[in-house]
């Protein structure tokens, strides 16, 4: 994996390079000190991953990340910043991960693994959303004080729980603060409401059934749960499965 380090502080660049030293399969191919030089370096060096600071002179990291998305084969981006308040904007710019300085080596290695898995190009980038609503390719959550992101393509269902929404995905569960209504508006082409408190991935619906109390439920591919279906939503789901 070829890595470009972009930070306006030379000491920060050296520290990241040091953390990557000796990591198997990782090569630091260059450095940049601002957004404009980052774009130029990416075009010249074709890195697989950019470790990108947010607050840089001139073009900041968020704008640079958005410009990188315009490339035919954009690199994966991991933001490394001292400021947590930019996390949502970072994930909307298709970041693979968001690391808060001082960056710990274990978190950096975890971000590298995410970059390897996602290859710098999400499923949603290949299929642009409606121009009216730009869909995120990931949702972000705070896990033990750190920002984590979950690819939408790996989410089986959203379940509303009090003030939070549970995100049940291929690697576990996280909580987010988005409302179920806003998620339905954003991802309505990929998720369908099965109950007032639940949205399920359309392409994961495997079968319908009824429990011992004759209440309908839906089963999703690769999941053991039986998810309750309201009678109001059942006809819509049946039509969806039949392809109507």
Hey, what CATH class is 138-242 in? mainly beta
pLDDT value at residue 232? 78
- Among 244, 90, 228, which Cα is nearest to 99's? 90
- Do the domains spanning 2-121 and 138-242 agree at the CATH topology level? no
pLDDT value at residue 128? 37
β-bridge pairing 146-151 and 138-143 = antiparallel
Hey, what CATH class is 2-121 in? alpha beta
- Note down pLDDT in tens along the chain; length 244 residues: 999 999 999 999 999 999 999 899 999 999 999 999 999 999 999 999 999 998 889 898 889 988 998 888 889 899 888 766 655 555 556 677 788 888 888 889 888 887 886 553 333 333 333 334 456 788 888 777 677 788 899 999 999 987 889 999 998 999 988 888 888 888 988 999 998 899 999 999 988 888 888 889 999 999 999 999 988 788 878 777 776 5
E strands within 53-127? 76-81, 97-100
In degrees, rounded to 5, the angle at the alpha carbon of residue 182 between the alpha carbons of residues 141 and 97 is 25
Q: What is the CA radius of gyration of the chain?
A: 20
Contacting residues for 26 by C-beta, under 8 A, at least 6 apart: 1, 3, 20, 112
DSSP H or E stretch at residue 90: helix 87-92
Whether the model clears a pTM of 0.75, i.e. scores above it, the answer is: no
pLDDT value at residue 137? 82
Contacting residues for 114 by C-beta, under 8 A, at least 6 apart: 76, 78, 96, 97, 149
pLDDT value at residue 126? 33
- Helices 35-45 and 61-68 sit at what angle, rounded to 10 degrees? 30
pLDDT value at residue 91? 58
Ranges of each domain in the chain = 2-121, 138-242
């Amino acid at each position: 994996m070829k890595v470009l380090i972009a930070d306006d502080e030379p000491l920060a660049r050296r520290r990241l390079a040091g953390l990557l030293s000796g990591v198997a399969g990782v090569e630091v191919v260059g450095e940049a000190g601002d957004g404009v030089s980052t774009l130029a370096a990416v075009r010249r060096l074709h890195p697989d991953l950019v470790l990108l600071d947010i607050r840089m002179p001139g073009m900041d990291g968020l704008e640079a990340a958005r410009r990188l998305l315009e490339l035919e084969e954009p690199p994966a981006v991991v933001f490394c910043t001292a400021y947590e308040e930019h996390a949502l904007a970072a994930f909307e710019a298709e970041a693979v991960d968001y690391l808060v300085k001082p960056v710990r080596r274990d978190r950096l290695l975890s971000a590298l693994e995410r970059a390897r898995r996602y290859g710098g190009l999400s499923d949603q980038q290949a299929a642009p959303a409606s121009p009216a609503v730009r869909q995120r390719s990931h949702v972000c959550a705070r896990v033990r004080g750190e920002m984590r992101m979950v690819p939408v393509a790996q989410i089986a269902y959203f379940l509303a729980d009090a003030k939070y929404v549970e995100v049940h995905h291929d690697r576990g569960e996280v909580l987010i603060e988005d409302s179920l209504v806003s998620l339905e508006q954003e991802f309505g082409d990929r998720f369908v409401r099965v109950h007032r408190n639940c949205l399920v991935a359309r392409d994961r619906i495997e079968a319908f059934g009824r429990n011992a109390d004759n209440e309908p439920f839906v089963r999703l591919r690769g999941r053991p749960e039986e998810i309750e279906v309201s009678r109001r939503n059942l006809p819509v789901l049946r039509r969806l499965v039949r392809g109507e």
